[in-house]
Amino acid sequence: MKKILYAAALLLGLAALGSCKKAEPVTLDKSIIGKWEPAGFELYFEGKKVAFDKEIKLDLHTKLEFLGDGKGKQEVTDPTGASLSETFTYVIDGNKLTVTLPEKEGTVNITKNVVYTAAVNGNTLTLTWDNTDPSFQVAALMLTMEAGTRVDKVIFTYNKK
């Protein structure tokens, strides 16, 4: 199970940021600006939330920073303390947040286009990645093969720093 959760969190940090489509920023634009620390992680298999303890779900930390003007940074740190820092671009269209990691030599993005349903409520940012985004199918297939059961969605929660 820990392997599955690690893979799901890694997908957010390393591959779950992508888009080619440009849209006029609306609603979330100002509320999303700032630094965000990981606060939670939910994984759904075959329509049911998977229960796991806090220690496991926070093994991989992905910090996000939305700078404004469609630019941001992420830092992913694994349990050993090793970290990877990347810049990204983003577009907001209503409650849809599309994020792109730049292509770099020597890196492999599992998927290019990831669209989250995003919400900011006070100091909490919630990003939902599910089958409404075609790129989710790649990640879901990988997780489903590992888990032996269908993965439906992943919900990431962040607190403003």
Tens place of pLDDT per residue across the chain (161 aa): 444 444 444 444 433 444 344 444 335 888 999 999 988 888 887 788 876 554 444 466 789 999 989 999 999 888 788 888 888 999 999 999 998 877 766 555 555 667 899 999 999 999 998 877 777 776 666 666 665 667 788 888 999 99
pTM over 0.85: no
CA distance 11 to 3: 12
3-class state of residue 141 by DSSP:
helix
Q: Which DSSP letter does residue 99 get?
A: E
